[in-house]
Amino acid sequence: MTHVKFNNSPLPRLVEDIFNNGWNKYVKDDFLTSDFFTTHPPVNITETKDAYLLDVVAPGFSKEDFKISANDKAITISAEKKAEAKNEGDKQVRREFNFKSFKRSFSITDAVDTNRIQAKYDNGVLKVTLSKKENKQDAPKDIVVE
């Protein structure tokens, strides 16, 4: 029995490229670097009985960097970090992180009271509380039958 080896197959080269050169050649670079998460910060949204809670992971910012605006249909959260001034005498040996701006918008329902939205930035997480409108039910009415 003779073993025949084919060298023309692209599969071994693909596997070799992945292990030697990484995924960057095959996947968009932004996804594999910190740029992806600084331009698209991850968000968790939780609904409680009284409010919707948005947790936006945005480390490296200060509370002054954020801008939050809301209307009856949407809430927009954005942040911009100014680049630090470089000292011309310093040589950058390696730079793996930098801060960029981001902007995310979320649709909101009529149940959200836009006048009672609160936000707090703590330990790299922006916590936005979207309070629900209070359900004021009319008092029961007695209907007189004529």
Instruction: For residue 129, give its domain range.
Output: 42-84+94-133
Look at the pTM and tell me if it is higher than 0.85. no
Q: Between 27 and 91, where is the model more confident?
A: 91
Do 62 and 119 fall within a single domain? Answer: yes
What is the mean pLDDT of the segment spanning 8-18?
Answer: 59
7 DSSP assignment? S
Given a contact cutoff of 8 angstroms between Cβ atoms, the answer to whether 58 and 44 are in contact is no
Residues 46, 118, single domain; the answer is yes
Q: Same domain, yes or no, for 106 and 66?
A: yes
Q: What's 125's domain CATH number?
A: 2.60.40.790
Give dist(CA 142, CA 126) in Å, integer: 49
96: which strand partners?
none
- 80 plus 112 within the same structural domain: yes
pLDDT confidence tier of residue 70, bands split at 50, 70 and 90 = very high
How many independent structural domains does the chain possess? 2
Candidates 82, 80, 42, 66; CA nearest to 118 is 66
